[in-house]
Amino acid sequence: MSRPVVRAGIAGVASYLPERIVTSAEVEQRIADASAAHGFVPRAGIVEELTGVRERRYKRADEHTSDMAVAAARKAMANAGVTIDDIDLIVFGSSSQDLVEPATSHIVSAKLGGRAVCFDIKNACNSFVNGMQVADALIRTGQYRKALICTGECPSEAVRWNVRDRDHMKASFAGYTFGDAGAAMVLEARTDGTGIHEVEMVAASRYWELCTLPTGGSMNPRDLDKTYFEGDGSALRDAFIEVGPGAIVDLFKRTRTTFDDYDVVLFHQVSNQLLDVFQQVTGVPDEKVVRTVDVLGNVASATLPIQLERAMASGRAKPGDHVLWIGVGAGISTMVMTTRL
């Protein structure tokens, strides 16, 4: 008699959003104020026009990535009906961090009063789903039973406000779409068919220089000018087009599924326009998509778990439903994952 397949099932998911709401008009005014010495003023409405982002959240000065992760983690554990004493693995998967060392997961654990094994995973906006992937593998082998995956994203700390001209603003433009947020998920060992089923990932690392936050490492340990996001949005878009939908195609071929077989489609959202193009090309209807970028901006690795939380809270995602996760991140990488709730 064959053994039942062990998978990491989603027991609870939650998010944390800072209270401060910052509109795109405020972003443009801050750029104008900071760039006054250069005489540069951005065209009114350009940020929302190009991205569809109306507003985003910025954390308080005294909030850290670990604080946002902890706030989300407490809600996720409550939703799962567990306490920190039940958790035997904590993975902090984020493009942000409290410090270069130690791993932010240890700070999260200390604030929660945990005693679990901890480590961080960093892969830009795919960090959280990579954390889920690794935790699933460890749960399948029996090393751990309950894992807490969490993130705190604070890209607002790395936005360049003082720009010289239009080209300088263009190179810094990704920062104007970012918002801060926290998210967390409790995964547990299950044999009932729910949980993480399939994962497909593609990396095109030759494009790593197209979007960077080039500070804090051996390349630029103390250069203050490198503490801001830098990127070429047009080149990055072209790179993702070149990489194409390979991960999705391969997963669909292997699982013999299509978009029609999934009840909810979670898609990493960097702009309204990109999401619109995705839906036009794939035919995925609005009722399967959870649009967040217009009111939260690009919240990096917190994007997909926030979408799942909202889908579940609204009744659009129910027990037994099949969920398709599509992640993209600087580096660059694309990732597709399927889960059954």
In whole angstroms, what separates CA 288 from the centre of its chain?
19
pLDDT at res. 234: 81
The CA radius of gyration of the chain, in Å to the nearest whole number, is 20
Distance CA 306, CA 290 (A): 9
Nearest to 91 by CA among 142, 136, 34, 157: 136
Distance CA 12, CA 7 (A): 15
**198-210 per-position pLDDT tens digit:** 999 999 999 999 9
pLDDT at res. 1: 61
CA distances from 43 to 29, 122, 230 (A): 10, 35, 20
Strand duo 333-340 + 195-203: pairing: antiparallel
Question: Residue 136: phi, psi to the nearest 5?
Answer: -60, -45
Q: Count of CB atoms within 10 A of residue 44's CB?
A: 13
The CATH homologous superfamily for domain 7-190 is Thiolase/Chalcone synthase (3.40.47.10)
Residue 211 near residue 40 (C-beta atoms within 8 A): no
**52-104 per-position pLDDT tens digit:** 999 999 999 999 999 999 999 999 999 999 999 999 999 999 999 999 999 99
Residue 187 near residue 48 (C-beta atoms within 8 A): no
Residue 2 has pLDDT above 80, yes or no: no
Sequence-ordered strand ranges (E) for the chain:
7-16, 20-23, 55-58, 89-93, 117-121, 146-153, 181-190, 195-203, 211-212, 230-231, 264-267, 322-329, 333-340
Distance CA 71, CA 154 (A): 14
b/e code 174-204 from CB counts within 10 Å (16+ = b):
bbbbbbbbbbbbbbbbbeeebbbbebbbbbb
Question: Which of 22-26, 53-57, 209-213, 242-246 shows the lowest per-residue confidence on average (mean pLDDT)?
Answer: 242-246
Amino acid identity for residue 168 in this structure: H
Q: What 3-state DSSP class applies to 51? A: helix
**162-179 per-position pLDDT tens digit:** 999 999 999 999 999 999
pLDDT at res. 232: 83
H-state helical runs in 148-298: 166-171, 233-243, 246-255, 272-282, 293-296
**103-160 per-position pLDDT tens digit:** 999 999 999 999 999 999 999 999 999 999 999 999 999 999 999 999 999 999 999 9
Class of domain 195-340: alpha beta
Mean pLDDT of the chain: 95
- Residue extents of the structural domains in the chain: 7-190, 195-340
pLDDT range class, residue 260, cuts 50, 70, 90: very high
7-190 and 195-340: identical CATH topology: yes
